[in-house]
Amino acid sequence: MCASLQKLEQALRVLEAPTHFQPFLTLSFLALPVIPALKLTDQGLFDVRRFAHIAVENEQSDSVH
């Protein structure tokens, strides 16, 4: 399995895929059965029920500095 993964990673380098993106890690999240309504994609969090991306923002409370 390790050799197969290395071949896939080599193919990504040949295709000049972005090095900051880890497609195999992303794919593992897409198949995660414990979160069927939400999926993590390279474009962010995806709501399967609404078939739309979810805006993820950091909301700061006035009491937190």
User: Cβ distance 40 to 26 under 8 Å?
Assistant: yes
pLDDT digits (tens, 9 = 90+) for 20-53: 877 777 777 766 767 778 887 778 888 888 999 9
Q: What is the pLDDT of residue 5?
A: 81
Q: What does the alpha-carbon distance between residue 29 and residue 46 come to, in Å, rounded to a whole number? A: 11
pTM for the complete prediction? 0.40
Q: What is the pLDDT of residue 22?
A: 78
Q: What is the pLDDT of residue 65?
A: 46
